[in-house]
Structure 1
Amino acid sequence: MNPMPVLTLLGVSTLLPCVPALICQRGRIQTVRNESELPLEWGTGEKACEVGEGCQDVVMLLHNGPLINLVIIKGCIKAEDQEPRVTWLSTGPGLSVVSYTHVCRHGDLCNNASSTRILEDLSTPTVPGSLRCPLCLSNNDCENAPEQVCPVGSIYCYNGVLRLRGEGIRTNLKVQGCMAQPGCNLLNGTTAVGTLDMSENCGLQLGPQALDCNSASLDIVKDVSDLHLSWTTGWKTCEADEGCYETVMLIQNGQEIHMALTKGCTSSVNREAQLTRHRTGPGISIVSYVHVCRNGDFCNDLSSTETLWIPPPDTAPSLLLLLPVPGTLRCPHCLSTRDCENAPEQVCPEGTHCYNGVLRLRGGAIATNLRVQGCTSQPGCGLLNGTKTIGPIGVREDCGPQSGAQALECRSGWAEGLRKVSSLPLDWTTAWETCKIGEGCQETALLIQNGPLVNLVLIKGCTAEEDHKPQITRHRLSPSLSIVSYSHVCRHWDFCNDLSSTHPLWLPPPPVEGLGNVSCPFCLSKDGCPQNGPKQVCPVDSSHCYSGVLSLRGGGFISDLKVQGCTSQSQSQSDCNLLNGIQTIGPIKLHESCGFHLAAESLKCQHGTLEAVQHISKLPLQWTAEQKTCNVGEGCQDTLVIIENGEHVNLVLTKGCTAAEDHKAKVTEHRTGPGLAVISYTRVCREKDLCNDLSTTVPLWAPPPVTAPGNTRCPLCFTAQACENAPEQFCPAGSTHCYSGVLSLRGGEIISKLKVQGCMSQPGCNLLNGTQKIGPVDVSEDCSPRSNSLTCHRGTMLKIGNGFAEKAVEWTPLSSQVCEPDEICQETLLLIDVGQKSALLGSKGCSSLGAQNDVGVSIFSRPPGMVVASYTRFCSSNLCNAASSTSVLLSNLPRPEVLPPGSVKCPVCVQLFRSCFQTSDFVTCPRGATHCYRGDIALRGGGLSSTLSIQGCMASPVKSLLGNSKTIGILSAKESSENERGDEDDEKPLLDGASASSPASMLGLLVLLSSLCAGICPLH
């Protein structure tokens, strides 16, 4: 599989470098021809290369009886020079394969091979033998291939598929013919000829089980004069039974046209190529093309707009009668993925109306908010005539002055991957997210090159940071170790964080001027570097060996990269400075330590919990986790439970440290359906840091097979709330009983009660088939009536803003829940106001066992310093925790008075989930405030798990803001001030501040729509 879907529009040129560089012949050819046409000749185009690149020639010819397959690759390459070389991979008799490779830099267009005459004469014995074999050489299929008499010396019939992958070449070549030796070894073990990668599969399972499909996405606005457009794509190997799809959408508005293109794998049923003209004008016109196929590899082979776009009539005399008659209406004209301010006006055709809207396109790696202003044949917001989906692309239309103006949408995701330098530039696509009002879009890329390897780190998403233009920083540039970063924050339009390639920031390292006398271990790895590993001779300007760990944290990303290599300066425990003092790049915090023994005594494990109910269409899901340093001897554990009920699944995940013994990854099907199904994944490991690296549901969950409905009807419910008046559903055939129960999960920092109603294949209260423990999680089920249990409002609130100490804020619960027997309802509210900023944290739900009815307000700090106060209530009637605003706290606070400024200046800040360091504003404190406070408060309980970073003015030099208080209502509180603070970073959970089953519980869960490259995880 090519992990980098790259799409190139033919005819679009790039800026040439302003320094001398080679010009090379450029071309890609793959063709099956008759032997009688030899010798074949070809012509090519030209390409200006990057500085330091050479020119390459790759020619491979496969001979099979009267047929030949020819592959030609010409272009620029970073590889070292190589004299022309002819290599026989297989010499016959029968099938034979020969190749020609050449890399040169001695002059422009030096890769000048132009004929098969460069290959030696093919040996083609004509004396027939006694063996007969099918004969086929085809890019399609070999069914009913004719037989041939094999030449003398051929003793074996070959039947295989050659997968050829190169720059612009992707072919699954079906081959049947005569061979001089048995086995699946036509290529004699060769896996690459120059930049052409090759693999070989033989036997009955040659490829029908998994198709290869063209794969790409493109979203672009062009001038009509640029059409027709043509493109090439990357490729992807699909899952078994998946097909290939392709979808193209063209929107023409005047002399501009927008094209959205997506190709790849799909589980959708086959669909003949269908062209739909959603709107034909006059004015704006829209056409789409949708195709799903399984009739062969790369069957989604549309490569041009020519078959689906008809140019508008021009002014030629023969077409004048087709031109629309201009009217008197004038409308703004715009077609842009950015903005339409000050759009020019145009005269519309007669009988048309003005249109102003935003088309939101989502799916198939397409994420676009297309602003459209122009003329249409009918009024209103119906440009697409009610169409909601086009292939995998969901379409939504918004009209009016506030279309998309309230909050930005940004490209979102993170990725990390180790690649060869020769594979650069890399391209990627990402997911997207809707930001909070006022937030901007950020993107950060970091490239660490060590010899022939490079590690890419990419983070995109929403941010509260101020805008700054794209900034490229070359932290270190040498032939051995190089580091370059890119950062950008923007708010000018949706998806403005649109860097999609390493091309703008990557320069090849300077050429090696010679080798020195120093040899160093070489390693660039996330898994660790071997003792007594391979060494390399360093360049002449490198005089020391580097050995260290680069730790990267931030933006939902965690990585420890082991580095060994050559540097030009000494590195030691006291001088470990590969990054030249850089500590932050965008949202990433960097730390450097030298000497691998520093972290050898205890493991670091991925750490966190997650529970969420999702529709099955959202699966597979992916996630990232925080990390934790374990006690000596502890291992890392992964536990995932998926419960399927109709069209929804409940996912329960816990990661962390454990004293349990190691065991390999284990998938257990506790119940397989039809109807309700339960499956789990458990693993305990100690082989390396962060080895509990399960990050997706893929290893244990696949969409259930479609089953016919039966005659049984059951209520359907899947929630932590009450199941009153649950809707009924028809059960699948084979489900003959209705289940109604509560699943309790306790352990591994999971506390959950899930109300379940659905279909079962057997009676009784035994959904789990007797299972009582899954990893560290104790599980039980209760199907008895719960008449003695309270129902309470449930939800969490986390807000950062201004003026929360003066003006009441709405406090509306998200849902309700049925409590355990003897539990009562609670609501807890904490206010922190430092002047310029305020924070509110709230929790509603069931209390812990043994709580007593109570209500109260506590004031921990008051003016002239910060205001820190809480409201708590415990009550024992249904839905009694019903406070609807923060006025229940504010009405009990003393009215603030305006005090004159004093002489003390302090930093003021309150932040959730991150430190106030370097983000604080200094203010003059009110008179009477004589000291500055700086500290963190970690809060746990009631569905909240958050750390507040606080700075502000204080009236007394206390170190503890909360005094001796360790609890605030349902919350446990742990405070660490500037002089007391320990290292709490390892205690952050996977989903800070998320209610266990609310939509907020998906914070930190990154769902990638497309993989960036192998080992890289569709940028969330």
Structure 2
Amino acid sequence: MSPSPLLAVLGITFLLPSVHTLSCQWGTIEVVRNVSELPLQWTTSQTDCELNEGCQETLVLVENGPQVKLVLSKGCTTREDQEAKVTEHRAGPGLSITSYTRVCRHRDFCNDLSSTVPLWTSPSDAVPGSLRCALCFSNGDCPENAPQHICPAGYTHCYKGVLKLRGGGIATNLRVQGCMPQPGCNLLNGTQVIGSLDVSENCRPRSGMEILECKKGNIETIRDVSDLPVHWTTGWQACGIGEGCQETVVLIVNGPQANVVINKGCTKAQDQEPRVTWHRAGPGLSVVSYTRVCRHRDFCNDLSTTEAFWTPPASEGARGSQQCPICLSNHDCPENAPQQICPAGFTHCYNGVVSLRGGGIFTHLRVQGCMPQPGCNLFNGTQKIGPIGVSEKCNSKSGAHRRDCNWGTLQIVRDASELPLKWTAGEITCDVGDGCQETVMLIKNGPQVNLVLSKGCTTREDQEAKVTEHRAGPGLSITSYTRVCRHRDFCNDLSSTVPLWTSPSDAVPGSLRCALCFSNGDCPENAPQHICPAGYTHCYKGVVRLGGGGIATNLRVQGCMPQPGCNLLNGTQVIGSLDVSENCSPRAAILTCNRGVMLQMARSLSQEPREWTTNAQENCKPGEVCQETLLLIDVGHKALLAGSKGCSSPQRQDAPTVLVHSGPPGVLVASYAWFCSSILCNSAQSSSVLLDSLPRPAAPVPGSQQCPICVNFGGSCSQGSNFITCPNGINHCYTGKIYVQGGGLSATLGVQGCMPESSRSLLNEVQKIGIFSVEEDFEGKMKEHLLLNRGAPACYMAWVVGLGLSVALWCGVFSSLLNPFFHDP
């Protein structure tokens, strides 16, 4: 399984139709016109709002001499109704700003302003003064020799700044130069909000290190071709130094339908002029893309419609005799999909799944339609479009289908006023037979809410979407949403808290005050106090444990409860993929650690880092800490790496420890150990934590001594071990065993190799390596005291890499099973 990046909360919202909602005019306009062209008129698109949303419209006119900048935003809003209002933020002559704002709910499309008439009257001629100022309205840089303008009488200063407008689908940095009656950076006259727009200004000169701002967002939608061209707006982001703006649009047209994928954001890629590419031309299935990378101005990735690179064909063309099912769907295609007559010359039916991944896009599109030739080649060999990777599969589904699911975890605390929250997820391909699961848990505590989310694969049986109120508010409350499904890929597609969240009504306050806390660490001694609702008579103080589905959290909670006791969960022990429990002892020393055992054998383990991650966690016993330990033995051309993560009794250790117990020339034995006391702190991702600290000696000069080499975890080395020529100066061959126990591992490691005469022992009487207890037996000279019980070990799961065996169960007979697999590659 190869999961994509973890789940994230986005600031971009795409509205979908909903019953009993308002329809509003929708769209944005930003233009510069000559004053002589006013009044201006326009038309916009429309959208269906979410429940309780109203319609808004915001119009701003910035006049600068003979020119005027018009900024218009229409759409849905959660703000309260507001009658139509005209505001003169700065009066002319000279630079002036006027706005029109409105919010309404009394009928559909009530935001119906269609011209500048309500806020525009032709100005009377101003008496000219003596000051001349450069004149500029530009989304890019103003020219160095901008045209000069004679200012009105009484205007004594030249303005030069950047007017920033954000919100309502607008993201503009407008560079302005013109006439002002006084000095300063105050074109906005103190205004910070105009309707749906946040406004600000900046009059500092640009620096060479100034970062670029770009349009940002992802849109994936299927539309009828008759609805094209599609128009859109997105959010914005500030880029890193040196980054540019990119935009990528992919349009897949299939008969009467089209799939539109839009990606905008920052990029490190080099500038690229706008490019339209026909990956497959129609008729029949067609694919066209638009890509661009730019740095010449803020928000230069401002394509807002498909009209720039695609128009419907004038005619369908001649029809042939081939008939194919037609389908364009993010779900499964129906078994009896509608048939279409293919264009003349189209002789084959395409049936595949197109995957688009990258730049925040994760789409699996099922496609059926007409093609001029056989094969799985809808994209004509294209594998990358902008930041989006492209692939396709055309194998028909079978009972052994591996389902794709949304995947990721999220744990955050937010103010209740910020809900509902929305998110997007990564993706994962599950094992055969697995389904998709999603678990959402909301714990409300006064003005705050803790959100825990898990999505991924599961072996559990299907379960319809279910909302459960484990503890009702006011005060501390817990609500969950759970679902398991297999009816289609990515069926675990919940993307917001809407199904399990309604804004609570105001509770009558009581007399009890309780400390308020949500924390993965310790709650502060002087946590803020909260007035509990009437009837709440006790203060809760405990630790809620959540484990499973990629979640491992110990959440410390303080708040209001209607009765005493440690029963916040109201008896609940399992919520979807999560095991839940609570502990209210005065100071529960609770810690959760990564847990797992690793065993690897390969030639290059001391040169090339290997992945060291686990899929499991464990809750420690009181007083325990987390540990991770690595032991490396390299005899030359063969090496063994053993690792352990889990809970441990505490050790005195301020930082990770790397030790070289014996080193070149000869057998290399080195170790890494780390003990820590914060949640999941044993989180090293690879063996580089050990390898990066090892010495890198020059290649040795070969000598005359030859020694057998062997390293295995099955006991003694065999008589038929391979031989190696030792480095010059070595005249001794080592033969011995190292007994290792602890951290889920119990093994006898057989070792043979070259060793300097001056150092016969590999461990030099070391008896403890991290979590491992170790004992060495070489040349029959084992210490009388044995630290280890070398009876048959319990069964452990071992991970063996690079030797033909991917996963093996390690029990008492494991050593005999390994012999056929461990050999020189």
Q: What TM-score, normalized by structure 2, do the two folds share?
A: 0.69
Alignment of 1:469-548 (within 5 A): 469-509=273-313, 511-548=315-352
CA distance in 2, matches of 1:875, 1:734: 43
Contact 1:673 1:760 (8 Å CA) reproduced: no
State the secondary structure of the residue aligned to 2:439: strand
Tell me which amino acid in the other structure corresponds to 1:588: I
Q: What corresponds to 2:369 in structure 1?
A: 565
Q: Deviations over 1:201-227 (max 9, x none)?
A: xxxxxx9x6433333333333332332
**Alignment match, 1:838:** none
Contact 2:470 2:480 survives alignment (8 Å)? yes
* SS in structure 2 of the partner of residue 307 of structure 1: helix
Residues of 2 paired with 1:216 and 1:270: CA distance? 19
Instruction: Pick the aligned partner of 1:743 from 540, 544, 555.
Output: 544
User: What pairs with 1:420-439 in structure 2 (closer than 5 Å)?
Assistant: 420-439=224-243
**Partner residue, 1:270:** 81
Give CA deviations for 1:347-402 in whole Å, capped at 9, x if unaligned: 54435434333333322222222333333334333333433322232233333124
1:779 is matched with 580
Please state whether the residue corresponding to 2:36 is helix, strand or coil.
helix
* 2-structure distance, mates of 1:378, 1:648: 47
Equivalent of residue 456 in structure 1, options 260, 283, 290: 260
Pick aligned residue for 1:722 from 508, 516, 522: 522
Shift of 1:638: 0.9
Q: Is the 8 A contact 1:847 1:874 kept in 2?
A: no
- 1:309 is matched with 120
CA distance in 2, matches of 1:708, 1:300: 38
**Cα distance, 1:570 vs. partner?**
2.5
Counterpart residue number, 2:198: 394
- CA offset at residue 761 of structure 1? 4.9
Q: Percent identity over the alignment?
A: 54
- For the 8 Å contact 1:212–1:297, the answer to whether it is kept is yes
Shift of residue 477, structure 1, vs aligned partner: 1.5
Match for residue 656 of structure 1? 456
Q: Summarize the Cα distance change of 1:774–1:614 in structure 2 as closer, same or farther, 3 Å threshold.
A: same
Residue 554 and residue 251 in structure 1: after superposition, are their counterparts in 2 closer, same or farther (change >3 A)?
same
Distance between the aligned counterparts of 2:43 and 2:34, measured in 1?
20
Q: CA–CA distance in 2 between the matches of 1:484 and 1:609?
A: 35
> Residue in 2 aligned with 1:768?
569
Partner residue in 2 for 1:588 = 388
Deviation of the 1:307 alpha carbon = 1.0
Aligned counterpart in structure 1 of residue 44 of structure 2, from 226, 233, 240: 233
1:229 is paired with a residue whose SS is coil
Q: Distance in 1 between matches of 2:690 and 2:377?
A: 51
- Counterpart of 2:651? 852
Task: Map Cα deviations across residues 29-78 of structure 1 (whole Å, 9 max, x no partner).
Answer: xxxxxxxxxxxxxxxxxxxxxxxxxxxxxxxxxxxxxxxxxxxxxxxxxx
Shift of 1:469: 1.0
Matched, 1:621 2:421: yes
User: Are residues 295 and 540 of structure 1, via their aligned partners in 2, closer, same or farther at CA, if it must alter by over 3 Å?
Assistant: closer
Matched, 1:634 2:434: yes
Does residue 222 (structure 1) correspond to residue 33 (structure 2)? The answer is: yes
The equivalent position to 1:363 in structure 2, one of 167, 179, 184, is 167
Q: Please give the alpha-carbon distance, in whole angstroms, between the structure 1 residues aligned to 2:73 and 2:561.
A: 40
- Once the two structures are TM-superposed, the CA of residue 664 in structure 1 deviates from its matched residue by 0.5
Pick aligned residue for 1:326 from 129, 133, 140: 129
User: Alignment length, in residue pairs?
Assistant: 641
- Work out the CA distance in 1 between the residues paired with 2:314 and 2:770: 60
Normalising by structure 1, we get a TM-score of 0.56
Partner of 1:294: 105
Q: Is the 2:400–2:433 contact (alpha carbons within 8 Å) kept by the matching residues of 1?
A: no
Among 138, 141, 155, the alignment partner of 1:336 is: 138
Q: Which residue of 1 aligns with 2:738?
A: none
Residue of structure 1 equivalent to 2:718: none
Name the structure 1 match of 2:489. Answer: 689
Does structure 2 retain, via aligned residues, the 8 Å contact 1:334–1:343?
no
Secondary structure at the counterpart of residue 121 of structure 2:
coil
Contact 1:674 1:734 in 2 (8 A): no
- SS, match of residue 397 in structure 2: helix
**Paired residue for 2:411?**
611
Q: CA shift at 1:343, angstroms?
A: 6.0
Q: Which 10-residue stretch deviates more, 447-456 or 525-534?
A: 525-534
Partners of 1:224 and 1:658 in 2: CA distance: 64
In the alignment, structure 1 segments of 5+ residues that lack a partner are 6-164, 166-198, 200-206, 315-322, 793-817, 829-845, 861-868, 882-887, 898-966, 983-1020
**Distance change in 2, residues 1:474/1:822 (3 Å):** same
Distance 1:732 1:388 in 2: 37
Aligned to 1:644: 444
Q: Which runs of 4+ in 1 moved over 6 A?
A: 789-792, 825-828, 869-872, 888-897, 973-977, 979-982
Counterparts of 2:590 and 2:430, CA distance in 1: 39
Tell me, what secondary structure is at the counterpart of 1:699?
helix
Q: CA RMSD in A?
A: 4.3
How far did 1:467 drift?
A: 1.4
Give the equivalent residue in structure 2 for 1:179. Answer: none
| Alignment of structure 1 residues 941-1020 onto 2, 5 Å | none
In 2: Cα distance, 1:791 partner to 1:559 partner: 35
Name the SS of the counterpart of 1:283 in structure 2.
coil
Answer yes or no: is the 8 Å Cα contact 1:643–1:678 preserved in 2. Answer: yes
Matches of 2:215 and 2:337 in 1, distance apart? Answer: 40
Q: Deviations over 1:236-260 (max 9, x none)?
A: 3444443332222222233333333
Q: Is the 8 A contact 2:185 2:201 kept in 1?
A: yes
Question: Structure 2 counterpart of 1:587, which letter?
Answer: P
Shift of 1:637: 0.4
Aligned partner of 1:995 in structure 2 is none
- Corresponding residue number in structure 2 for 1:247: 58
Give 1:543 shift.
2.0
Residue by residue over 1:464-491, the C-alpha shift from the partner in whole angstroms, topping out at 9 and shown as x without a partner, is 2111111110112122111111111122
Match of 1:579 in 2: 379
Q: Please state whether the residue corresponding to 2:173 is helix, strand or coil.
A: strand
Report deviation, 1:692: 1.2
- On the 8 A contact 2:156/2:181 being kept in 1, the answer is yes
> How far is the alpha carbon of 1:590 from its aligned partner?
1.4
Q: Deviations over 1:945-982 (max 9, x none)?
A: xxxxxxxxxxxxxxxxxxxxxx999xxx99989x9999
SS at match of 1:527: coil
Contact persistence 1:526–1:562 (CA under 8 A):
yes
Q: 1:363 to 1:595 in 2, by over 3 A?
A: same
Q: Partner letter of residue 122 of structure 2?
A: P
Matched residue SS, 2:586: coil
Provide the residue aligned with 1:48 in structure 2.
Answer: none
CA distance in 1, matches of 2:805, 2:31: 52
The 1:707–1:282 alpha-carbon spacing in structure 2 relative to 1, beyond 3 Å, is: farther
Q: 2-side partners of 1:453 and 1:877: how far apart? A: 53
SS in 1 for 2:503: coil
Whether the aligned pair in 2 keeps the contact of 1:853 and 1:873 (CA below 8 Å) is: no
- Kindly indicate whether residue 533 of structure 2 is the aligned counterpart of residue 702 of structure 1: no
Quote the residue 1:379 is aligned against.
183
Per-residue CA shift, 1:97-134, capped at 9, x if unaligned? xxxxxxxxxxxxxxxxxxxxxxxxxxxxxxxxxxxxxx
**Unaligned residue ranges in structure 2 (runs of 5+):** 1-12, 594-618, 630-644, 661-669, 683-688, 699-768, 772-797, 807-825
Match of 2:24 among 201, 213, 217: 213
Preserved CA contact (<8 Å) 1:674 1:761: no
Q: Which moved more, 1:348-357 or 1:362-371?
A: 348-357
Aligned to 2:756: none
How many Å apart are 1:228 and its aligned residue? Answer: 1.6
Cα deviation for residue 584 of structure 1 reads 0.9
- Contact kept, 8 Å, 1:358 with 1:403, in 2: the verdict is no
